[in-house]
């Protein structure tokens, strides 16, 4: 006996066909039985005993709509204050992203806004962003800190994420990104700031239960591989998984370093080389591609998608929502850009926001595909094939989501 039986659906389970690592996993004329928030049965409706009314407390008619797993945005900086629209204008006048950062703008300007803004205000702004994504079928998120850069302000951002999880029920992973940029008070003292992270910020925030994973920005405008390694050593000592912003603007061999620490993911990766790819393959590290930042910075260097594919490194797609390089509130748009800009197939792009995004968060046992035992977490779409999610852009065909078995309709 199910709690709920959904019938009259077409389902893209995103489960790869046997022996393959691609495929939409389509089941036409399908049904899903839900028990205690989990998938208790999924398959072709004709395989179910009749009458369906005897199988569940509630039988719901999907009216022939399409279902995919709930989308997962596995790389975001959704908690922050302030806007960087002015820098967008500056860049249109010819100033580069790096020049703006070196002149005290960029990440540092968002840090100033975060330090000046109350937790409650940041909470409200972050809630708005999360809800915008949720209404497009995003049921799971990652949120990084990294715009506070001192103990108190990083705590503020991680508390916002924690409250959104605990008080509003958003499923989200909280990532400590203290090593995002050098705060101005540590100018020319990067190693001292890394000391502060390793000796005070990370252990304190972890002890307060505010940290699920640890990230860093390995780049010539941020931190060296050696400095990142110190942060990763501390994370390892605290039993926290790591991930890394790597090879975004140059190749500092961050992906290889991340792989040495069995990182969940290495992200951006425009300048990734084959050595890094092989290391990621060996460690099971997911390649998170971020077409929003590539597009918004008008990058020319494409991530090595063909090589990633050839080596069988799983690719995920995320918004990288942040005020500087990707002020984007549509994961669906990112799927389209992953296809048009990075040449992923629609099937790869959709897997990138479901199956592989779940892996990038270490949540693959519970999410990312629709199969018995996993969370009853899926989106109902008004589309005629799952590829439409990547094809149409600037449109939101989500009708509603089932999250942990519960229906949230978006009508009206």
Interaction partner, residue 283 (ligand NIG, Fe ion, none; CB < 5-8 Å by kind): none
Task: Give the distance from CA 352 to its chain's centroid.
Answer: 10
Partner from Fe ion, ligand NIG, none contacting 325, C-beta within 5 to 8 A by type: ligand NIG
C-alpha gyration radius of the chain? 21
Residue 400 CB, shortest distance to Fe ion, in Å, is 29
Q: Find the residue with minimal CB distance to ligand NIG.
A: 324
The DSSP output letter for 9 is E
Distances (CA, A) of 393 to 157, 161, 396: 31, 29, 8
Q: Which residue is nearest to Fe ion (CB)?
A: 320
Q: How far is the CB of 247 from ligand NIG (least distance, A)?
A: 11
Torsion angle, alpha carbons of 270, 276, 281, 282, to 10? -160
Residues that bind ligand NIG (CB under 6 A): 106-107, 110, 217, 245, 248, 293, 320, 322-326
Residue with smaller CB distance to ligand NIG, 30 or 246: 246
Alpha-carbon distance values, 126 to 4, 145, 160, 220 (Å): 32, 12, 8, 29
Distance CA 160, CA 41 (A): 36
Q: Where would I find the H helices in 248-343?
A: 254-260, 274-283, 291-296, 305-311, 331-340
- Using CA atoms, how far apart are residues 122 and 75, in angstroms rounded to an integer? 19
Closest to ligand NIG by CB, 107 vs 235, is 107
Token pair 């916002």 is found at 160
Looking at beta carbons only, is 134 or 296 nearer to ligand NIG? Answer: 296
Nearer to Fe ion, 11 or 361 (CB): 361
Binding site for Fe ion (CB under 5 A): 320
Q: State the binding partner of 374 from Fe ion, ligand NIG, none, CB within 5 to 8 A by kind.
A: none
**Nearest distance, CB of residue 249 and ligand NIG, angstroms:** 8
Q: How far is the CB of 245 from Fe ion (least distance, A)?
A: 5
Q: Which of Fe ion, ligand NIG, none does 369 bind, CB closer than 5 to 8 A by kind? A: none
Q: Please state the closest distance from residue 287 (CB atom) to Fe ion, in A.
A: 14
Q: Which is nearer to ligand NIG, 10 or 268 (CB)?
A: 268
Whichever of 13 and 248 has its CB closer to ligand NIG, that residue is 248
Shortest Å, Cβ 231 to ligand NIG? 15
Residue among 149, 145, 179 at smallest CA distance from 161 = 145
136 binding partner (options Fe ion, ligand NIG, none; Cβ < 5 to 8 Å by kind) = none
Write the CB contacts of 396 (distance below 8 Å, at least 6 apart in sequence): 135, 136, 330, 332
């Amino acid at each position: 006996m199910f709690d709920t039986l959904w019938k009259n659906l077409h389902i893209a389970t995103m489960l790869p066909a046997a022996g393959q690592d691609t495929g939409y996993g389509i089941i036409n004329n399908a049904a899903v039985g839900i028990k205690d928030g989990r998938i208790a049965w999924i398959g072709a409706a004709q395989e179910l005993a009749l009458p369906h009314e005897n199988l569940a407390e509630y039988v719901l008619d999907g009216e022939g709509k399409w279902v995919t797993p709930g989308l997962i945005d596995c790389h975001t900086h959704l908690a922050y204050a302030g806007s960087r629209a002015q820098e967008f204008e500056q860049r249109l006048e010819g100033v580069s992203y790096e020049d703006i950062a070196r002149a005290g703008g960029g990440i540092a300007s968002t840090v100033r806004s975060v330090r000046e803004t109350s937790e409650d205000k940041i909470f409200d702004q972050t809630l708005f962003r999360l809800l915008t994504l949720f209404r497009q079928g995003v049921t799971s998120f990652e949120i990084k800190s990294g715009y506070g850069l001192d103990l108190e302000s990083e705590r503020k951002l991680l508390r916002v994420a924690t409250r959104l999880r605990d008080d509003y029920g958003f499923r989200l992973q909280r990532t400590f990104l203290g090593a995002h940029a050098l705060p101005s008070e540590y100018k020319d003292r990067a190693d001292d700031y890394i000391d502060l992270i390793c000796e005070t910020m990370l252990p304190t925030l972890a002890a307060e239960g505010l940290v699920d994973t640890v990230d860093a920005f390995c780049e010539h405008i941020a931190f060296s591989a050696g400095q990142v390694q110190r942060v990763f050593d501390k994370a390892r000592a605290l039993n926290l998984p790591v991930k890394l912003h790597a090879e975004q603007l140059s190749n500092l061999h961050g992906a290889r370093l991340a792989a040495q620490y069995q990182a969940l993911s290495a992200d951006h990766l425009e300048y990734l080389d084959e050595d890094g790819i092989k290391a990621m393959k060996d460690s099971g590290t997911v390649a998170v591609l971020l077409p929003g930042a590539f597009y918004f910075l008008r990058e020319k260097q494409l991530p090595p998608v063909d090589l990633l594919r050839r080596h069988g490194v799983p690719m995920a797609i995320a918004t990288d929502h942040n005020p500087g390089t990707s002020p984007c509130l549509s994961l669906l748009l990112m799927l389209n850009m992953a296809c048009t800009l990075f040449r992923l197939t629609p099937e790869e792009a959709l897997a990138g926001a479901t199956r592989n995004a779940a892996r990038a968060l270490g949540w693959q046992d519970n999410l990312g595909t629709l199969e018995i035992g996993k969370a009853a977490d899926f989106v109902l779409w008004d589309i005629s094939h799952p590829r439409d999610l990547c094809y149409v852009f600037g449109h939101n065909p989500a009708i509603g989501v089932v999250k942990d078995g519960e229906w949230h309709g978006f009508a009206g």
